[in-house]
Structure 1
């Protein structure tokens, strides 16, 4: 739908433009004051405060997470008035030592700008507009907890963007899990009574060897990366306990579950062979693979293209890590496009990316993404059939097992 001077899309863009300086100020405040997972108290206070002053009803500490919040505009919970529900998502946790080297300050500012502009342009909102603060994407998965708490129940579209080094319509994000493997043996002196010892560290090292063989036959998008987190305390004692932490990824959630099962079987086999006892446990919630909603992502791409940033399909066979947005996308229609703030020769989670994410290109991307997110929210709220089409596409993907 092309904008006219009186169209909601034109009003959305005017509202974003009027707030651009303040949104960039907020983004730079977050960039200058990075807070890591579950510690984002100042960021959550700043963002929720902006929404509250704009007339949103804000609930803080949702899902049992002190730095999570939901801001609501439109019809009240339980109201009988018809209308879709749109959620604009904000991430704001930083990386240890690297600060905002993943650009979450831009995600927060764009989501905030989209929420403020959509409410102002469409007031009164015919439906429900949510601005959801989602902490701890980098570690632990705030969205995993929020999904379990029912925060996305009744949502028809979950919208966010991510800064990156490519302009892609959707994100090829894998499923992932953190798995702790602990071997229990029996301590002994390596020269005094060596035959009485059962070397837990030796068992753990054998598991790494087995996984090295396994890794050679894994399909694209799947891998296991491990570190030793406990290898004993002294060289003159056979370790009675050794522990490793393993990051496991699969191209799909089903592939992840199969690979975690293989890791468990390998650990149990090593334990049997070495006469140790093994414990295999998940650490935190699992991230599911991302399921793009083509109906919504094409709308976003169209709006962003009108702002001068064309998006393309991802390169085949390329995967860009994991995110807890996957857990949202397998429950409700969702988007997670990538928009470049530096060239493809770079990479996020680097100091170079952190610097680029505070530069002029980052500001342009943040403003353009806020506009495109708000216009996509307007599509869902105003255009008959968009929500139904998004859900029909979601169900087709679900039925196909994708």
Structure 2
């Protein structure tokens, strides 16, 4: 069997051969930003390239037209490389997913070429903002590790992603004109009261928890008491358990507002995703390989919790990594024009190649060493137990 050093050197050589191809792919995706669910150009480019390399490609996974899987090899261990390629609507690749997709694609090709014919399998999961759908559809049920990186303003060994839920809050009252003999029941007043209660709730939120609401419907005319008012609230917490407690608190605020105003409230949970459960065994391995390419990571700032991400749903099912690698300095944030520009900058392209190599090295380590897979699963089990028991 080849030594680790030889395999890693071969991975690096493959990434060097893929250099121009990966830079070109990242540039093409950047030039064709597509919102989640509409990434037809990106899905076509990625699946065509994977099929040409011998991967068995399946489109429309989990009833998502632009989601796909591509498998090479059979059996276990199975290592998944996650590709995100959606862009926020109307703002271009301000999250740098063009780099996420190109790095995962390059890692898949390099790992396949190095390990062709060996036991185990690679699974490329094209999950454009749809990791929860793929996870719940069973895509990762036979996977032993899920690997993905994300560009950012810091170089962290893992990203503290919050558990997230979105609630729709609809208050129903009774419409009436301002001069009507019988007064109406003001649905908007109930929604405003719910906002006030949520604002008071913020004062006692646990660290890492946040609530942000918007009004989506508040009436049609100023001379009519509205019989319907709607809002949406995004809820974030450090863990799934803390999120459920926060959902209960916001629900109580809505029900209290309805009771005190004589309205009826309808609550709907629109979307949710788990917190991210980092796997230290895998994160340490990735960080080691990234350092070999000149980029050094640190643990994340303990005071910072990023927005929720669908990758959390994968991480509570399978040992996973989600490191962040800086493509610009910490004064900037994603979802900005500066971040979009950084995603096609020389620094962004350097991060792309280093991340692809570190991902591929980590993948071949897992496929070559069953003991490493065992260690990752042991750590995963211990973390899951600690989350359940609070110890």
Name the TM-score class by shorter chain. over 0.9
User: 1:378 aligns to what?
Assistant: 364
Q: Deviations over 1:41-83 (max 9, x none)?
A: 11111101100001111011111111010001012xxx6xxx3
| Secondary structure of residue in 2 paired with 1:369 | helix
| Secondary structure of residue in 2 paired with 1:401 | helix
Q: Do 2:159 and 2:306's aligned partners in 1 also have CA atoms closer than 8 Å?
A: yes
Q: CA deviation at 1:298?
A: 0.3
Distance 1:225 1:2, change over 3 A: farther
Q: Deviations over 1:326-351 (max 9, x none)?
A: 00000010000000000011111111
Q: Deviations over 1:174-205 (max 9, x none)?
A: 00111100000000011233x43000000000
| Secondary structure of residue in 2 paired with 1:262 | helix
Counterpart CA distance in 1 for 2:178 and 2:254 is 24
User: 2:183 aligns to what?
Assistant: 196
User: 1:241 aligns to what?
Assistant: 228
1:7-46 alignment runs, 5 A limit: 7-46=6-45
Q: 1:330 aligns with which of 309, 316, 333?
A: 316
Q: Do 1:183 and 1:242's aligned partners in 2 also have CA atoms closer than 8 Å?
A: yes
Q: CA deviation at 1:255?
A: 0.6
Distance 1:386 1:332, change over 3 A: same
Counterpart CA distance in 2 for 1:204 and 1:112 is 46
1:145-224 alignment runs, 5 A limit: 145-193=133-181, 195-224=182-211
TM-score (norm 2): 0.97
Counterpart CA distance in 2 for 1:384 and 1:204 is 55
Q: CA deviation at 1:384?
A: 3.2
Q: Do 1:86 and 1:130's aligned partners in 2 also have CA atoms closer than 8 Å?
A: yes
Q: Do 1:287 and 1:326's aligned partners in 2 also have CA atoms closer than 8 Å?
A: yes
Counterpart CA distance in 2 for 1:37 and 1:374 is 26
1:2-401 alignment runs, 5 A limit: 4=5, 7-75=6-74, 83-135=76-128, 137=129, 142-193=130-181, 195-284=182-271, 286-401=272-387
Structure 1 regions of 5+ residues with no counterpart? none
Counterpart CA distance in 2 for 1:124 and 1:371 is 20
Q: CA deviation at 1:20?
A: 1.1
Q: Deviations over 1:197-251 (max 9, x none)?
A: 0000000000011111101111111111001000000111100000001111111
Counterpart CA distance in 2 for 1:34 and 1:144 is 22
Counterpart CA distance in 2 for 1:372 and 1:131 is 16
| Secondary structure of residue in 1 paired with 2:224 | coil
Counterpart CA distance in 2 for 1:2 and 1:226 is 54
Q: CA deviation at 1:2?
A: 8.3
Structure 1 residue ranges, 4+ long, deviating more than 3 angstroms after superposition = 1-4
Q: CA deviation at 1:318?
A: 1.0
Counterpart CA distance in 1 for 2:197 and 2:344 is 44
Q: CA deviation at 1:283?
A: 1.2
Q: CA deviation at 1:3?
A: 5.6
Structure 2 regions of 5+ residues with no counterpart? none
Counterpart CA distance in 2 for 1:400 and 1:212 is 32
Counterpart CA distance in 1 for 2:208 and 2:257 is 26
Q: CA deviation at 1:125?
A: 3.4
Q: Deviations over 1:127-152 (max 9, x none)?
A: 010111001x2xxxx11111111000
RMSD: 1.2
Q: CA deviation at 1:360?
A: 0.2
Counterpart CA distance in 2 for 1:63 and 1:225 is 30
| Secondary structure of residue in 2 paired with 1:113 | helix
Q: CA deviation at 1:11?
A: 0.8
Q: Do 1:170 and 1:336's aligned partners in 2 also have CA atoms closer than 8 Å?
A: yes
Counterpart CA distance in 2 for 1:317 and 1:255 is 16
Q: How many residues align?
A: 387
Q: Do 1:230 and 1:244's aligned partners in 2 also have CA atoms closer than 8 Å?
A: yes
